[in-house]
Amino acid sequence: MSRRFEIIPAIDIIDGKCVRLSQGDYNAKTVYDASPVDMVKRFADHGFTRIHAVDLDGAKAGRPCNLSVLEKMASASGDARIEWGGGIKTDDDMRDCVNAGCAFAVIGSVAAKQPELFDRWLERYGNEMMVLGADLRDGKVAVSGWLGDTDITIDGIVGRFLPLGLTQAIVTDISRDGMLQGPSFDLYTEIQAKYPDVDFTVSGGISSLADVEKCAELGLRRVIVGKALYEGRVTLNELEKLC
């Protein structure tokens, strides 16, 4: 099956502002001038149809904290759709995010700690909306905004939901996130080959256009570009041409 390679620009949000962390460290934070709404408009103007946004306050607090920002982003997104994660823990949280304009919901901690709840959401909202978020530290899934650890492997968590129709997963190598050192290509090629029915998104470490091009050459399907954009190491015009 032929699939279009998809580049997904990222927005991380703390206190309603665009930020980037290094390796998930809330104390290693860079705040950027542009607002999340401005960035959504910019991404949409360049033709990107999926925008990845993380409510970092929500991930830390265990409940959505920036839903008003999500509403404004969704209203400004044009043809682009918002992929939202961070602190979605309950049925009410999930409903509130959908009502605020979330088109894709990234679920990490709940999938790891309350798999039956993620089962229910997969059934209720469908695999077009529900995205498994698997953030890996030393090969094991981290939870609660990367502040907690589990003994769950990527095979364990993907295998748990595959029979229920899982088709999308964002896998982040925490050791590479925000470090601009290139992604873990071997990790992504291995899991994509092992689970061909799941569209895996490369997340963490993209440092240049060459990294993005390599993802495409390796047959990977989706890649999130965050800090490299904000630091000027890759431009929206370059990414737009690659798409």
12 is catalytic: yes
User: What mean pLDDT do residues 193-214 have?
Assistant: 96
Which pLDDT band, with edges at 50, 70 and 90, does 129 fall under? very high
Q: What percent of the chain has pLDDT over 70?
A: 99
| Secondary structure E strands in the chain | 6-14, 17-22, 25-31, 50-55, 81-85, 102-107, 130-137, 140-143, 148-153, 168-173, 199-203, 222-225
Cross-strand pairs, 202: 171, 223
Its pTM stands at 0.94
What is the arithmetic mean of pLDDT over 175-192? 90
Structure tokens given for 12: 């991380």
Choose the catalytic residue: 55, 93, 135, 199. Answer: 135
**Residue 2: predicted pLDDT:** 46
pLDDT in tens, 28-77: 888 988 899 999 999 999 999 999 999 999 988 999 999 999 999 999 99
Catalytic residue flag (residue 91)? no
Task: Out of 12, 55, 199, 211, pick the active-site residue.
Answer: 12
Q: What mean pLDDT is predicted for residues 105-121?
A: 97
Interstrand relation of 81-85 and 168-173 (parallel, antiparallel or unpaired): unpaired
Contact residues for 97 (Cβ-Cβ < 8 A; gap 6+): 64, 67, 70, 84, 88, 105
The domain limits of the chain are 6-242
* pLDDT, the chain, mean: 94
In angstroms, the CA 219 to CA 12 distance is 27
Reported CATH class of domain 6-242: alpha beta
